[in-house]
Every structure is written in C-alpha cells, then in structure tokens.
Amino acid sequence: MRFQGTVAWVTGGASGIGLAAAQRFAAEGARVAVSDLNAPGCDDAVAAITAAGGSAIAVPCDVRSLDACVAAVARIEQEWGRLDHVFANAGVVGAGGIEFTSEDDFAALIDVNLVGVFRTAKAALPLMRGSDSGSIVITSSVEGLIGNALLPGYSTAKTALLGLTRALAAEAAPTIRVNAVNPGYIESPMTEPVAQMMPEFKQAWAQKALLGRVGTVDDVVGVVLFLCSSDAAFVTGESVAIDGGAVAVR
Ligand SMILES: NC(=O)c1ccc[n+]([C@@H]2O[C@H](COP(=O)([O-])OP(=O)(O)OC[C@H]3O[C@@H](n4cnc5c(N)ncnc54)[C@H](O)[C@@H]3O)[C@@H](O)[C@H]2O)c1
C-alpha cells in the first residue's frame, strides 16, 4: 500500500493507460479522482475501482478548458482536502504529414496534448503545495524523442512536454517532483484502430524493440507509480522511455 492516505488525480482516466493507472493507484491505497472528457467513462472507472474495494470519485473534465481543470481541483479539495499525485495523461493522436494537416488540426493537437497538461498542472499546483511528497507525472511519448513524418502536431506537443516537465520541476521543487514518461507503441484503445488498419506498423514497433514486443498499459503504469512513490524521491525533471528499448538503438 505505497499510496495509503494520499490523493491522486488522473486525467484521461476513462481509458487505456489512464484507466489502468487510476485502478493501480486505488489498489495501492490512494483515493483517486478520475477525470476525462468522457463523463460516462469516468463513472465506469469509478464503479470498477469501488467494486475492487478502492476509493474514487468521477470528476469529468475537458483539459482544453482551464476553468474546467480548476473546477476539477476544487471538487477534489472539497472531497478530500488534499492532492498528492497528478498523472497528466489526457491526450489525442492525429496522423498526417504537414501537407495534409490544417492549421486547425495542428492547433487542436497542441491544445489537448501540450496546453492541456499546462492547464492541468496550473490548476493542481496550489492544492499540491500542501503535500509533503507531491509528484506530477506527464505522459509524453517516444514521438517526443524522435521525429515522425506522419505526426507533426503530436510530435511537437510531446517534445514540448519534456521542456514543460523540466520547467515545472524547477518551479515546483523542492516539495513537488515533476517527471515524464515516454511510452512507445502501447496496446490501448488509442492504437487499436492502427493495429486493425496497419498491422505492419505494430509489428514494426515490436521488431524495433530490443525486448521484441509492443507495450501494455501496465508496462507504463508501473513506471508512473514508481515515479510517484518514495522510491523516486530524488528523481525530478526527468523522463523515462517505456518502449522496450526501441529508441535506444538504431
Ligand atoms: N497508446 C500508445 O501507444 C501511446 C504511446 C505514447 C504516448 N501515449 C499517450 O498516452 C496517453 C494515454 O493514451 P492511451 O493510449 O491510454 O489512449 P486512450 O485513447 O485509450 O485514452 C486517452 C483518454 O484521454 C481522454 N481525452 C482526450 N481528450 C481529452 C480532453 N480534452 N480532456 C480530457 N480527456 C481527454 C480520452 O477521452 C481517453 O479516455 C495519451 O497522452 C497518449 O498520447 C500513448
């Protein structure tokens, strides 16, 4: 029970990596606020967590709105009076080279994936300052480490998140740590359509990985919870690739 007595806020918590993280935080003793654009999905996540004996509330929130993020934190404060861990994870992907990407498409990817994390952290930090072991983990991507001709908006946002991680780590120290995770290809509802339409893309990532497979949501969640735990008490401003070694080598 590493997180007994703490409160965790997970954005993008209705699906995939965020849902699995919310469930693991709760299983390890945290009270969890599940946020997502998908309000019924938040309710389903909370039902699953409480059925398993955990404690959670649904706090639907669109990270494209600072007011919505501030309201979500106000709800958490009202319910539990504290906030220790934030998993800023909500994100969307959009594929297409620059010639097929409109300004609006590009801006929309930046708005959710980058500014959404800025809004999440901006809303959370005032309440987190009351925690003696606060931790923010931001979901970037291996697409923030390497270029991808088909993902200009997504890659730009995920790369910029690594700068935001370091800037926030500097600002929030010494009581709050800020780190990022860079997942590679992870099996989730986000990648499912790609797996269906382009199985060779998934296979290529599995072959690229030194460990010979693509990732699971639990592969990511294990690292996220490590970064929030006291085992990572001296780690801040850092990012960890969770990709089976795919981008470590040529
Ligand atoms: N799956 C992968 O291979 C992979 C790889 C690297 C990074 N990531 C990142 O991991 C994160 C989670 O992805 P996933 O694979 O679990 O995808 P997912 O689609 O299963 O989950 C993403 C969740 O974010 C929510 N969301 C989208 N826009 C939102 C908004 N404006 N406000 C609030 N919630 C919103 C969605 O409703 C969804 O529930 C994303 O940031 C994604 O970019 C995923």
pLDDT for the residue numbered 21: 99
Q: How far, in Å, is the centroid of ligand 1 from the Cα of 21? A: 12
Point out the residues of the chain with pLDDT beneath 50.
Answer: none
Q: How far, in Å, is the centroid of ligand 1 from the Cα of 93? A: 8
The CATH classification of domain 7-184+216-242, taken from the options 3.40.50.720, 3.40.50.300, 3.40.710.10, 3.30.1360.120: 3.40.50.720
Q: Does the Cβ of 191 fall within 6 Å of ligand 1?
A: yes
Classify burial at 56, counting beta carbons within 10 Å of its beta carbon; exposed 0-12, middle 13-18, buried 19 or more: buried
Q: Give the Cα separation of 177 and 171 in Å (integer).
A: 10
Q: Does the Cβ of 92 fall within 6 Å of ligand 1?
A: yes
pLDDT for the residue numbered 250: 81
Q: Does the Cβ of 219 fall within 6 Å of ligand 1?
A: no
Atom 40 of ligand 1: nearest residue by CA position: 91
What tokens were used for 14? 């209705």
Q: Does the Cβ of 7 fall within 6 Å of ligand 1?
A: no
pLDDT for the residue numbered 50: 98
Q: Give the Cα separation of 214 and 77 in Å (integer).
A: 38
Which 8-state DSSP code applies to residue 87? E
CA distances from 71 to 8, 77, 116, 157, 163 (A): 16, 10, 14, 24, 26
Please indicate whether residue 185 is annotated as part of the active site. Answer: no
Q: Give the Cα separation of 105 and 111 in Å (integer).
A: 10
Ordered by start, the domain boundaries in the chain are: 7-184+216-242
Kindly report the number of other CB atoms within 10 A of residue 126's CB atom. Answer: 12
pLDDT for the residue numbered 132: 86
Q: How far, in Å, is the centroid of ligand 1 from the Cα of 76? A: 22
Which 8-state DSSP code applies to residue 133? S
- The candidate with the shortest Cα–Cα distance to 55, out of 22, 82, 86, 88, is 22
Is residue 107 within 8 A of residue 154, CB to CB? The reply is: no
